[in-house]
Amino acid sequence: MAALSPHVLVVFVAVLLLATATTTRCHRHGRHHRHAAKGDAVAAAAATLGVTDINAICRTTPHPDSCLASTAVHLDAAAEKLVASSISVQLLPPNILSVALASLRGALSAVSSLSPVLSSALSAPPPSSPPGASPLRRGAAQDCLELHAATLASLSRSASLLASPGEGLPSVRAHLAAALTNKATCLDGLAGASGPEMDGLLASLDDAYAHVTNSLSLVAGRGDSDGGGSAASFAAAVAKIIHHNRRLLEDIGDYSDNGGGDDDDDNNNDKTVVITVAKDGTGNYRTVGEAVAAAPNNSATRTVIRVKAGTYEENVEVPPYKTNIALVGDGRDATVITGSRSAADGWTTFRSATFDAFLTHAGVSGEGFMARDVTFRNTAGAAKGQAVALRVNADMAAAYRCGVDGHQDALYAHSFRQFYRECAVSGTVDLVFGNAAAVLQACALVAKNPVAGQSNVLTAQARGDPNEDTGFSVHNCTVAASPELLASAVSTRTFLGRPWRPYARAVVMDSYLGPLVDRAGWVDWPDAEAGRADTVYFGEYGNGGPGAATDGRVGWAGFHEMGYDEAAQFSVDSLISGDEWLAATSFPYDDDV
């Protein structure tokens, strides 16, 4: 048989996909009455839940009383939602599904009720503060209020996903884990603050977020027999690949500048918006912040911000309504965004970031924040403490050939699902930290000179709930010392990671570990509660190099010399459902270990 030309092959594949989709629609039409009947059966089962069933389910949650309170108020509405949605692809057993939806409604109600409490407690203090009151750090109030809004969006999104036909549970869990991370981050910023309203605020936060913890427990480890989604999830992934033929790895020059716009409505135009930033005035804007502000709001299509070579001294925030932004530079050695905020200057760690992407959900097209060929830098210095170069709390975010350069807390992988490929991340203490599900693949992790007496720590993962699908996977990377560290006469210990929260997860796989890596490999968190070494999961698999020997590693129950099956749980596909969304980014990735 003669070989097909590339053009003919593309046409053949397109026709085959179209025929498959048509056949699938025909089959679905033939099964429609059965699906509707099944959806009715699910709703009917939910509506007839008995007290015994509800008690049994709620007893499995961390906060049974809160669960029972949610079902007492919201179970009927949850059953009505099931009837209205006519769910045919059953994510959970109908009794658990209805209680989970009721719990989510309870969480949304309880967290919503915090809005006036937060506004009152975090408002600017009066000129004469009460005796003994301690002020908030810079940005703490803004952090908590923004994180509160993000949590409300995530809870609403979780309820919608859970009641939608064909949606997978990993996205629901990603949003719920992000909500819990938001609470922890708010509390981090409030640490040390005191006053008459602060104790009441903290108690209210605990009560409200008990419902979030329950909701996560009800959907944890369920419905994932197909690896993280349904057949509909796969179909959606294929659709995204077809829809986004215009790859960012193609010549960016093919896009014409059109300057963006401040459109408050959803932008459903298929035309990609391209905005050019140049310090010399040859682009649409001179600063990255101006370009972000000009990008369309709530856009369903990609906005490319093309940043020409130069050093841009500014702190940039991509707010939640600036969806589907791709930041493209001229190379990580050529395009640099730099700032110098730090904890020593009074900023919260969260607010210290030079660049932050704060998106509570990906856009309609399924794409989140992307960055390529740009460096994010914080120049505060090692003595200034926490000083973030890049913070990302965006779902399905990806960075390719980027640089992240700082000292303590350089890369804040805050929450949701993230991917970093061929990036250079350099710093000292807690180089990569946060509670995202993040894969760093083919990256260089470079340890610099810390403050005298400090050790370098490459990861500080913050999983605070055993039901969260979060963790760090360092895969096929290189761990090395910076030239300044090599030239230093001071002996500095460098560890692969330490547990920021009790259920931290971090693994290093198929990587080259230089001689700087300490024989112990991992180190305790200072003043951690007893037993944290037993509840964490730190693993190594298939590593090489002078620092890879495991015979001197810590003897914790939470340390694992992993086999293939264990390591595979931290692959791109398993940890971040990467096969469902990374192809649409055009960034290369390896989906197995």
239 in Cβ contact with 174 (< 8 Å): no
Tell me the C-alpha to C-alpha distance, in Å, between residue 61 and each of 170, 429, 468.
Answer: 19, 36, 14
Question: Count of CB atoms within 10 A of residue 484's CB?
Answer: 10
Take residue 4 and report the two structure tokens written for it.
């097909």
Instruction: From 100, 96, 102, 110, select the one nearest 78 (Cα to Cα).
Output: 102
The residues, any chain, with a CB within 8 Å of residue 133's CB and separated by 6 or more, are 125, 194, 195, 196
**3 state DSSP class of 534:** helix
Verify whether residue 395 is a known catalytic residue. Answer: no
The rounded distance, in Å, linking the Cα atoms of 100 and 329 is: 44
Taken in order 533, 537, 541, 545, is the CA torsion positive or negative?
negative
The rounded distance, in Å, linking the Cα atoms of 331 and 327 is: 11
Question: Count of CB atoms within 10 A of residue 179's CB?
Answer: 28
Verify whether residue 409 is a known catalytic residue. Answer: yes
The rounded distance, in Å, linking the Cα atoms of 480 and 475 is: 15
Question: Count of CB atoms within 10 A of residue 290's CB?
Answer: 16
Question: Count of CB atoms within 10 A of residue 93's CB?
Answer: 15
169 in Cβ contact with 222 (< 8 Å): yes
First to last CA, the chain: 36
Task: Give the bridge partners for 474, in sequence order.
Answer: 440, 508
Angle between helices 64-85 and 94-112 (to 10 degrees): 110
Catalytic residue among 356, 405, 430, 469: 430
The rounded distance, in Å, linking the Cα atoms of 297 and 261 is: 8
Catalytic residue among 373, 409, 465, 579: 409
Strands (E), 340-414: 355-357, 370-372, 375-378, 390-392, 397-400, 403-405, 411-413
Q: Which residues are catalytic?
A: 409, 430
